[in-house]
Structures are given as C-alpha cells and as structure tokens.
Structure 1
Amino acid sequence: MEGPEVLNITLFCCAVAGCGKEYKSKFNLKKHMFISHLGKNNFRCKKCNKLFVSKQNLREHSFIHSNIKPFKCSYCGKRFRQTSQLCMHKREHKKKYAETLKYAMLIDKD
C-alpha cells in the first residue's frame, strides 16, 4: 500500500488591491498582471515617487509610509499594511493545514 499523498500548496497572489486572484504558477500570475493590470493608468506616490497600476494600489502603498494596518487575517487576526503581505501570511496557514492533514492521514493509516 502506498503512503499518503503529499499536498503541496503554493499560491502566487495578485498584489493589485481588490483583485485577489491566485495562481498555481508564477508564469500565470505574470500573464494575468500583463493582461489585466499593466500598461493602464499609472499612479505615483508623492512620498517616494513609486508608480502603481491602480489608485487602490497606491492607497495600499501609502500605508507603508504610515502605521495603518487595515488588512486582517481571517484565521488568526494578525493585521497587515498590504493585501500581498496578507496573502503570503495566509499561505503559511494553508501549509500548516496541509501538514496537519498529512499527519492526520498518517495516524489514520496505522
């Protein structure tokens, strides 16, 4: 009998505020960014001159220059300045869940 199936969960999240798309490959995320977001209106931060593809991204970026953390993890309540940080954080929860599920499957198998 074979061992339990290993769950590999790797998600690449779109950092454009309000988008929330997740992809299993970096290539597909880049393709999405090019088709959906790049080459459109550019918005410039007045504090650091960085350019953004949307007004919402510029707004999110502005939190870096302040102490505001408006994005909250639905799993643990930790707060973040950017949705991309929240997305990366949530990946850790998903990895822990996959590891727990793998462990439970090993115990159940015995």
Structure 2
Amino acid sequence: EKPYQCSYCGKTFSQSGCLQKHERTHTGEKPYQCNYCKRKFVGSGQMRRHERMHTGEKPYQCNYCDKKFFTSGETRSHERTHTGEKPYQCSYCKKKFAQSGTMRTHERTHTGEKPYQCSYCKKLFAESGQVRTHESTHTGEKPFQCNYCDKKFATVARVKSHEKTHTGEKPYQCSYCKKLFARSQTLKRHERTHTGEKPHQCNYCNKMFADPWKVRIHERTHTGEKPYQCSYCDKQFAHSSNWKVHERAHTKERPY
C-alpha cells in the first residue's frame, strides 16, 4: 500500500518521509546544509555521506581487502573489482558495467542526453561531476584540500586523483596487459587501445572516437568554432596546439 501521493506528479509512496524527500525534487528545497562547505542537500543521509568527504571517516570496509569507503554503495561497487560481477547492461550495445551510474553515463553516449545544467551559464553536461567541476570555474570555490600539501580542489575526485601523485598509488589495472594506472579514466582510455572501442560519436556525422575530447575537436571542423584567440593579434584557432605555436611567433619563444 502506498497511501502518500505527490502533489506535483501523482507518484505514490508507502512512507510520508519518502514523499517529503521526493517533493523536494519538484520544489528545489534543500534543508540540510554541510557544516564544512555550506553545500545544501535534499536529505539528511546525503548530507552525512557528503560530510565524510571532509572528515575522512570511512565506516565501510571491503570484505576482500582492507580498503575502507565513505558509503555502503561505494563498498559494494569496489567489491565487484574482486568478484568481477557486472550486473548492469547497456540497453543499446549490451556492454556490461559494475556500477549503475557508470552504465547510465555510458548510455548517454548513445542518446546524447545532457541532463545537468550549469547554474551560471546554462551549459549542459552528461555527468553531475562534470557540471560541479565546471561551476567551480564560475565560483572559484575549492573546498577540498590535499592531505599531503596545501593544494585545494573543486571536487573530491580531483583531490583524490592529486593525492596519488604523493602516494604513488595505482589501483586501476588493465584487463589486457596488467599495466597499472592512478586514474580510472586513464585506465578506460588505455583499454580502448586494446579493444578498439570508439564509444563517442560526432553530432554532425557518423565518425566515432575513443575519447570525448577528440569528438569536441573534430566537431569544430563542422561548426567552424575557434575558441582559442591569440593574445597579441585577432587570429583565432580551433586547436590549442596551433594557437600556442602561433603565439610563439610573437614572443620568439623557443620551447625546445
């Protein structure tokens, strides 16, 4: 029985607390505020999980190794690296994933969906992490500090990635040649050199690419976009490398 009905969309819930939390997705209300960086959340559970990123508390331990995590969900996802389980399958190409979030992000490479919008310039993104990182370019906010030096970062993912330059940790291993990597994204790009996979398609033609940044550069051949402007003259460029080479003609710099 689900006696509690949403006033906005008609969805029903078995508990009043679940209804209240759901209705905040309509109203935008975020009553729970982080005690460390003032970020606000819809639910108290979300806030507590977020605050662990500031305090460093990791109450959940892997059943297969000594690694600890902020949330139970992270623990389950990590344990699949031990078991090899991939329960989530793409609806378009049947590729399987260990995490549902990774699968949803992957499916957007098929659909082109970009559900996350910047609050400042309305630019759209496929991933929530991308929009948070982008918004920090507007706000300049960097609430996460490295545990080994004074450097600060806009996101937890970036500070974790940076800290590996101190520890030398490389937890991600290639399934094909056993090479180790510090970042999961670097591992994914590397594994495509083995599989030949090119999951990113141009929005203007059928050409496929292994990396999203290569798609963006290629699409400029269709749009004519030239985002890099010379600091010394009005000339513009589609590629940052061409722009840098051009500016050296002004500065007479010899990098080699």
- TM bin (shorter chain): 0.3 to 0.5
Which structure has the larger Rg? Answer: 2
TM-score after normalising by structure 2: 0.23
